[in-house]
Amino acid sequence: MRAVLCHDHADPPRLTLAEIVPPVPAAGEVLVDVHAAAVSFMDALMAQGKYQLRPPLPYTPGTDAAGVVRAVGAGVAHLQPGDRVACGHWTGAWAEQMLAPASQVTLLPAAVDFTTACTVRYAYGTAHYALVERARLQPGETVFVSGAAGGVGLAAVDLAHHLGARVIAGVGSQEKADVVRSRGAEAVVVYGAEDLKARIGTLTQGQGVDVCLDNVGGEVFAAMSRLMAWGGRMLPIGFTSGTIPSLAANLPLLKNYSVMGAFWGAWAMRQPEQSARADTELMQLVAEGRLRPLVAAVLPLAQFSEALAQLHDRRVQGRLVLRMR
């Protein structure tokens, strides 16, 4: 079968398309014929050796895919060959077949196509874990999402709006303002074009935001650490700026706000039943049109390098997808 391989860590990533032996599912695993696979910033970081997880080399990148079950391992009772599914794991999605733990495989409603399905688990799963499981977001609260036009950011805007929050979106350019508004952002802040502190102060009448989902880190995190409301919740999700920030401990003390991690992938592995329920709920909301994932472009598998280049150059709004068949 065809698969993308990472033989060493490099920046930019050095990947090749190769023919490899198809995998065989072990107990508790599912083998999926992949029709579509998502491309994420995490995939690029992992190939560069900059992510907290370093899989043994060589490996096939890609965390999320969708397709048809080909085979199941021993002990897997809720899935069978022929089922339409979305699936995920730390690696392996950028290939014609993918192995995934059965707990990370979700049956697809008839209304959800493979291209859309492969973009849901990681992006919306992260947003759901951060907003619902960790922040306990309440209707009427104000949420600020940085990096809001990216995969996880746009999912967070969409989900927060669905949950009844008032959403303020932070983006890197004016060109990205329309897409975040289309997913429910009430207000947009463009970094560099306007002062983040002053704009958030005006939008919240000086009270600050109840929940901050920060995908950027760096100066954005530093600014938002001073713009939290009393009793707020600040969640570092990622660091697309390339700078991992630090925090002066007196800031959460003065506002009695919490800083909490939201590492969805690790939680999904530790709490597989809760994660599976969330996946099913999110996929149903997509099927009903109440959540609307955005696929920016669909490229053939052989153009994986172009997909990574678009991510690197910040040209992507929503998600990129690789087409396998």
Closest CA to 218 of 242, 193, 250: 242
- Residue 301 is predicted with a pLDDT of 97
Mean pLDDT of the chain, nearest integer: 95
Provide the token pair at 63.
């965390």
Q: What is the pLDDT of residues 144-167, one digit of tens each?
A: 999 999 999 999 999 999 999 999
Q: What is the CATH number of domain 123-263?
A: 3.90.180.10
Which tokens sit at 132?
A: 């619902």
Task: Return the CATH fold of 2-119+293-323.
Answer: Quinone Oxidoreductase; Chain A, domain 1 (3.90.180)
Collapsed DSSP state (helix, strand, coil) of residue 27: coil
Indicate where the chain has its CATH 3.90.180.10 domain(s).
Answer: 2-119+293-323, 123-263
Confidence grade of residue 325 (pLDDT, cut at 50, 70, 90) = confident
CB 69 within 8 A of CB 83: yes
pLDDT (0 to 100) of residue 161: 98
Residue 272 backbone dihedrals phi, psi, to 5 degrees: -65, -35
- Euclidean distance between CA atoms 126 and 267, whole angstroms: 10
What digits encode the pLDDT tens for the residues 251-299?
A: 999 999 999 999 999 999 999 999 999 999 999 999 999 999 999 999 9
pLDDT tier for residue 316 given thresholds of 50, 70 and 90 = confident
**What pLDDT is recorded for position 41?**
87
For residue 19, give the amino acid letter.
E
